[in-house]
Each structure stands twice: as structure tokens, then as C-alpha cells.
Structure 1
Amino acid sequence: MADELALLIPLAPFIMICLIVWTKHQSKMAELKMNATAEKAAQYAQHTAQLEERVRVLERIITDKGTDIARQIEALREEESDARLNAPVNPRHEV
């Protein structure tokens, strides 16, 4: 045990330096990872905003067209109704 302690005492400064360098390295790696994560989050936010805008445009197109389509359907229904009212009555076909 005394031999081990005698060996560790002169190595203590080198071990401390290695520990300090390793700690700084880990800190720098954590900072780089945090920056990369923040950058990715910003990219995702921008992409999400672009997708939301596209969805808004599509909703506007669909609702605008939806009103037009509804009008066209009602016009066709009116035409069919008018055609039925003006159609000649078939005397053989009784209801």
C-alpha cells in the first residue's frame, strides 16, 4: 500500500491536469451539442411555419372552391328540378 501511495503522489499533478483537460473537453462538447440542437430547433420551427402557411393557403383554396362547387351543385339541382317540372307527363307511367 505504501508503494502504491508513493507512486501516486508524484503522478497526482499529471492526473489532475488530465482531469481538468477532460472536463474542459466535455464542457466544450456539451456546448457544441447544445448549439447544434438549438440550430436544429430553429430549422424545425421555420419548416413548421412554412408548412402552416401552406396549409392556410390550401384551406383558403378549398373553402373558396368549396363555395363555388356548392353553388354549381345547387344550380344543377335547380336545372334538374326545372327539367322535371317541364317534362311531359307519360300517361302510361302511373305512380
Structure 2
Amino acid sequence: MSWPIAIVFIVLIVAVGKVLAAKYRAQAGIIEDKQGNQHWVGKGGDPEAQREIENLRERIKVLERIATEGNSLDARETKRIAAEIEALRDKQAD
């Protein structure tokens, strides 16, 4: 084996290693910024942010229900939806 072929193989092995390392870091939730610093952004990293996301998801569900029910709401239904929205606001304040 000549030395140019050996160099090509070495470069190929290093490139494949870097690609695999990046793949495994991404699966673990680790990203790298432009300066090469690694940051963990995996699931469950910030419990306060996760709680806020869950509250927002609940609010979106209520808003979707309001949007899909249309204009044919009676007074009881309107009060029920308003109570649900208020309950979500109270839940967020806790």
C-alpha cells in the first residue's frame, strides 16, 4: 500500500468518526455552537419550562375547541368554556 492511499484511508476514517460522533451527540440532545461549545438541550432539562409548555398545550386545546364549535354556542356552553379558561389561568398562577 502506497502512502497516498494510506492518507486517504486515514482521512476517511476520521471523517466517518466525526459524522458518527455528531450523530450520537444529536441523539443524546447535545448540540454544538459555532465556537465549538457543546450544550445539552435534552428533554426534561428545565422543569419550569416543561411545566409552562404543558400549560400552553392545555390552553391551545381549549382554544381549538372554541374555534371548532363555531358560533352556535348557547349561554351555558359559553360560561363553561370561560370557566375552563379561568381554571387554566388559575392553574398557571400556582
TM-score range, shorter chain: 0.3 to 0.5
The structure that has the greater radius of gyration is: 1
Higher helix share: 1
* Higher relative contact order (CA closer than 8 Å, sequence separation 6+): 2
Normalising by the residue count of structure 1, what TM-score does the alignment of the two structures yield?
Answer: 0.39
Normalising by the residue count of structure 2, what TM-score does the alignment of the two structures yield?
Answer: 0.39
Higher strand share: 2
